[in-house]
Structure 1
């Protein structure tokens, strides 16, 4: 996933409401997340579903690695 472009990837919620289809198309085309603001503060992040699934898979693999003691075993430490 590409980094956020601070000029084009941060938009107010009101603009998202007015241009939903175009902004969703932007997220799909660029692969970058879109940060939506509400009352001038970041509120939510819109991600392409493929990137979201990829992030979930990576997180689940990391969690499985940590709970299996893999990090400890690789460093030569003892497993509980």
Structure 2
């Protein structure tokens, strides 16, 4: 993050919104929006936001899996496949 470029006051966003959006899209770097000298929001391009969201979801799923392992809530691969086969057979 380049402090002189990546932190902007809310007035900048108000007066130069289109320019700000073009720069965020071009650079793919987040811009921190400040109000009264304090950070209030972050502007991201859509691709970066989606990548962050996907990474966060993957970490959440991984943490849930680790918690299941620690809690003993697992079954063998053979049992998992057997359960799926039974469910599929019941739907036919």
Q: Give the TM-score of the pair, scaled to structure 2.
A: 0.72
Match of 1:79 in 2: 70
**Structure 1 residues 23-72: Cα deviation after superposition (integer angstroms, max 9, x where no partner):** 100000001001000011111000011100100100101110110128x9
Q: In the TM superposition, what is the alpha-carbon distance from 1:21 to its structure 2 partner?
A: 0.2
- Equivalenced residue count is 71
Q: Whose helix fraction is larger, Structure 1's or Structure 2's?
A: 2
* Alpha-carbon distance in structure 2 between the residues aligned to 1:79 and 1:36: 41
Q: In the TM superposition, what is the alpha-carbon distance from 1:79 to its structure 2 partner?
A: 2.9
Greater relative CO, 1 or 2 (CA 8 Å, sep 6+): 1
Match of 1:57 in 2: 54
2:32 aligned residue (26, 35, 59): 35
Give 5+ residue unaligned stretches, structure 2.
72-92
Q: Give the TM-score of the pair, scaled to structure 1.
A: 0.82
SS of 1:68 mapped into structure 2: helix
Radius of gyration: which is bigger?
2
After superposing on structure 2, the runs of 4+ consecutive aligned residues of structure 1 that deviate more than 4 Å are none
